Amino acid sequence: MQTQRLRIAIQKKGRLSKECQELLKRCGVKFNMMGERLVVHCENMPIDLLLVRDDDIPGLIMDGVVDLGVIGENELEEVSLERLARNEPADYVKLRRLDFGGCRLSIAIDKDAEYKGPQDLKGKRIATTYPQLVKRYMDKQGVPFSACMLNGSVEVAPRAGLADAICDLVSTGATLEANGLKEVEVILRSKAVLIQRQGEFSADKLALIERLLTRMQGVIQAKE
Ligand code: PRT
Ligand code: ZN
């Protein structure tokens, strides 16, 4: 069901939400975040913001439920591979990479373990929230492994005896260090991106997206 108003899905609460809201405000989009609302109507432009969990954003775009979304490339790529594997629509258009949400998806092992290369992961159990990305990487390396899917506390899996290695997001490296782990392979470098659904748009919506993109360009350049 498409509406006249441009629908943008953003993370409700988390690492992307503050910078995402700031970016929209700097682009001249006026809105008031209040309470636990799912939809926030912008005051000065025909835009509705949809406040959701980041995990839901790729699917909302790929199912054509919202027009634009802001999401980390890690999540976007994982969901995209998952949907392709299930023969579900996985199309989207990447409009631009943003200047926040930077991190890397890395494999880490016990800090004292020897490591010479991906071959050392042969037959190991890897705990992760990103099984599709891990599989794509390990298949490319030709290294068989087993996965252990965890939606949280991935970094404690080796110590808890659940896995031999982990594959998780890293920014400063402090979490790995605190858990006695060392980063041995970077499998993806990620940033937040602005994505658009596939398909037709009204001339008004296209013009609005164009205007937002031009402003975004200015805002991001001014910061550099
Ligand atoms: O509730 P919701 O599902 O919306 O949020 P979430 O908990 O799934 O996601 P959130 O808010 O934690 O992260 C959203 C996005 O931020 C991620 O998908 C990434 O694109 C991006 N991002 C950037 C990060 C990090 N940096 C990051 N450091 N996401 C998570 N981390 C975690 C990481 O998982 C690990 O636990 O931070 C820890 C490592 O940080 P360092 O600094 O110790 O290395
Ligand atoms: Zn999430």
Question: What CATH code is carried by the domain that includes residue 138?
Answer: 3.40.190.10
Assess if residue 1 is contained within a domain. no
* Nearby residues of 120 by Cβ (< 8 Å), 6 or more positions away: 114
- Report yes or no on whether pTM surpasses 0.80: yes
Atom of ligand 1 nearest to the CA of 173: 44
Q: Is the confidence at residue 70, as pLDDT, over 90? A: yes
Assess if residue 64 is contained within a domain. yes
Assess if residue 19 is contained within a domain. yes
pLDDT digits (tens, 9 = 90+) for 121-178: 999 999 999 999 999 999 999 999 999 999 999 999 999 999 999 999 999 999 999 9
Q: b or e along 68-101 (b: 16 or more beta carbons within 10 Å of the residue's beta carbon)? A: bbbbbbbbbbbbbbbbeeeeeebebeebeebbbb
Q: Are residues 20 and 96 in the same domain?
A: yes
Q: Are residues 128 and 184 in the same domain?
A: yes
For residue 1, name the pLDDT band (cuts at 50, 70, 90): low
Ligand 1 neighbour 37 (Cβ under 6 A): no
Q: Are residues 80 and 11 in the same domain?
A: yes
pLDDT digits (tens, 9 = 90+) for 168-206: 999 999 999 999 999 999 999 999 999 999 999 999 999
Domain holding 160, by residue range, is 103-189
Q: Are residues 197 and 148 in the same domain?
A: no
Q: Are residues 14 and 92 in the same domain?
A: yes
Residue identifier of the C-alpha nearest atom 9 of ligand 1: 14
Residue identifier of the C-alpha nearest atom 42 of ligand 1: 172
Q: Are residues 97 and 196 in the same domain?
A: yes
Domain total of the chain? 2
Residue identifier of the C-alpha nearest atom 1 of ligand 1: 53
Assess if residue 29 is contained within a domain. yes
Over residues 88-113, the mean pLDDT reads: 98
